Amino acid sequence: MIDASTSAAPRSRKTAAAPTSRRLVLLCEHFYPEMISTGMHMTELATRLAALGWRITVLTAKPSWGTDDETPVPREMVHEGVRIVRVPTLGSQKGGLVSKAVAALSYVVSVSWALVARRNDYEGMLVTTNPPFVGMLAWLISKATRRPYLLLVYDVFPEFAISLGVLTEDSWIAQAWRRAFRLTLTGATVIVVIGRDMRDLIRWKMPSRLHSRIVMIPNWSDERRVRPMRDGRNPFREEHVPGGAFVVQYAGRLGEKHTLEPLIDAACRLQDSDVWFQFVGDGAQRPRLEALVAEHGLRNVQFLPYQPMDRLSEMLSAADVAVVCLERGHTGISVPSKAYGVIASGTPIIGILDPQGEIGLMIQETGCGTIVDPDGEDLATAIEDLRDHPERCRTMGEAGRAAFLDGYTLETAAERYHAALSSMLG
């Protein structure tokens, strides 16, 4: 177990953003009102850039999460100064692997037509790596229209698919995908990575002469939306938590890349204590986790759906400690950005992840939590230690909040993206 409660938080520098009126298209499969994971981050970034003067059109798909299926979502709308255009797609992100693949591929096909038809509406492109092949589309459009693009790397391919067991390392698909991803990287005017471990991996994939195009901009949480709610009543905690319980919370996507089974193991070991385990969210692992809870007859584990954004501060602050996890095989390939919302709420972190990954380094540098191995016994010991030392727990939470305000706010990230995009179009 690595305890980082005494480390110092890094400082960051902020620069004032100059007004702009440049036209930008954002390619992102998930966007408002799908305020989950990538959808939430891209919505926050786009609306903040619009406030800085950018004229942004988002080409996105019909939302899969966070909406009422019976309530139609407009094909075109404006949200906080951002124009949203939903392209037609097949399949669904709520389905299995085939359904998700169909949804992603149909999105890429629809977007390609929209980019050509609307080529006079934008001067440059901001592209995420989700879905995987949209970056290759940006490369083709850039060659055809001479519009530059900024590539925002959320996941590294094909390594991400290989780590999930979808592909083998030496398969022809993986080899072709590797060449296509390299082409996407070398064609980008600016490449944004969200972690130092990811930066090292991207550098390895690119010629050294192009390394200057890589910009490190960590993800963020919205400082206007998330704040500590530890003094006074917390309606979310009152509604969902037994009185006097010590709450261990995991909030977010219950995806395959997240190391969640040790939480169930720890719950088994602590079922006769006052520790309450709370899972908030949904994803591929939820049925398996619920089955394990039922198999062991656990009464100290709770599953809740995704919560409305206006309850985010309540939900995150309801935890005494939050778990952030990522399988170690994903280090450098992905970054669990939910950690920034946790520290924004002043909640200490237990990290089940690689100490040398971006969030592992952040925990150690800022003193906002502790890191454990993916083992139920080690996790249970860490939980009991924090429960028995509330002052230490409070110090970690305060260190995380200070680090958040210093370098991980949406304002800071938007200013950095503003600079990167301005240099791309400069």
So what CATH class is 235-407? alpha beta
CA distance linking residue 131 with residue 110, whole number of Å: 13
Asked if 354 contacts 380 with a C-beta cutoff of 8 angstroms, the reply is no
Pairing outcome for strands 190-193 and 149-153: parallel
Quickly state the pLDDT bin for 319 (edges 50, 70, 90).
very high
Residue 93's pLDDT is 65
Asked if 34 contacts 308 with a C-beta cutoff of 8 angstroms, the reply is no
Quickly state the pLDDT bin for 131 (edges 50, 70, 90).
confident
Pairing outcome for strands 149-153 and 246-251: unpaired
Q: CA nearest 38: which of 49, 26, 50?
A: 26
Average pLDDT over residues 327-336: 89
Residue 199's pLDDT is 97
Average pLDDT over residues 68-93: 84
Task: Give the CA distances from residue 282 to residues 25, 311, 400, in Å, rounded to whole numbers and listed in that order.
Answer: 30, 17, 26
3-state percent helix, strand, coil for the chain, nearest multiple of 5: 45, 15, 40
Task: Give the CA distances from residue 252 to residues 91, 107, 216, 325, 336, in Å, rounded to whole numbers and listed in that order.
Answer: 23, 24, 24, 11, 10
Whole-number percent of the chain with pLDDT over 70? 92
Question: Residue 216, exposed/middle/buried by CB under 10 A (0-12, 13-18, 19+)?
Answer: middle
Highest mean pLDDT among 154-163, 226-235, 252-261, 390-399 belongs to 390-399
Residue 130's pLDDT is 85
Q: Look at residue 331 and give its three-state secondary structure.
A: strand
Q: CA nearest 399: which of 3, 92, 1, 6?
A: 6
Tokens standing for 331?
A: 């280090």
The whole-chain average pLDDT of the chain stands at 90
Quickly state the pLDDT bin for 6 (edges 50, 70, 90).
very low
Q: Is the pLDDT of residue 283 over 80?
A: yes
* pTM of the predicted model as reported, rounded to 2 decimal places: 0.89
Asked if 37 contacts 90 with a C-beta cutoff of 8 angstroms, the reply is no
**Strand pairing partners for 192?**
152, 215
Q: Where exactly are the structural domains of the chain? A: 18-220+409-425, 235-407
Residues 6+ apart with CB under 8 A from 57: 23, 24, 25, 26, 82, 83, 84, 85, 118, 121, 122
- DSSP labels for 213-272? GEEE----B-TTT-----SS--HHHHHHS-TT-EEEEEES---TTS--HHHHHHHHHTTT
Task: Give the CA distances from residue 266 to residues 78, 355, 393, in Å, rounded to whole numbers and listed in that order.
Answer: 46, 21, 19
Asked if 93 contacts 64 with a C-beta cutoff of 8 angstroms, the reply is yes
Residue 119 vs residue 220, higher pLDDT: 220
Domains 18-220+409-425 and 235-407 share a fold: yes
Average pLDDT over residues 131-160: 93
Average pLDDT over residues 163-174: 88
Count of CB atoms situated within 10 Å of the CB of 328: 16
Which tens digit of pLDDT belongs to each residue from 213-270?
999 999 999 999 999 998 778 999 999 999 889 999 999 988 777 789 999 999 999 9
97-111, 167-181, 382-396: the lowest-pLDDT one: 97-111
Q: CA nearest 278: which of 333, 235, 244, 323?
A: 323
C-alpha radius of gyration, the chain, whole number: 21
Q: Look at residue 127 and give its three-state secondary structure.
A: strand
Residue 371 identity (one-letter amino acid): I
**Residue whose structure tokens are 């028995």:** 388
- Domain 18-220+409-425: give its CATH superfamily: Glycogen Phosphorylase B; (3.40.50.2000)
Task: Give the CA distances from residue 225 to residues 84, 184, 199, in Å, rounded to whole numbers and listed in that order.
Answer: 22, 34, 29
Q: What does DSSP assign to residue 409?
A: B
Average pLDDT over residues 93-115: 82
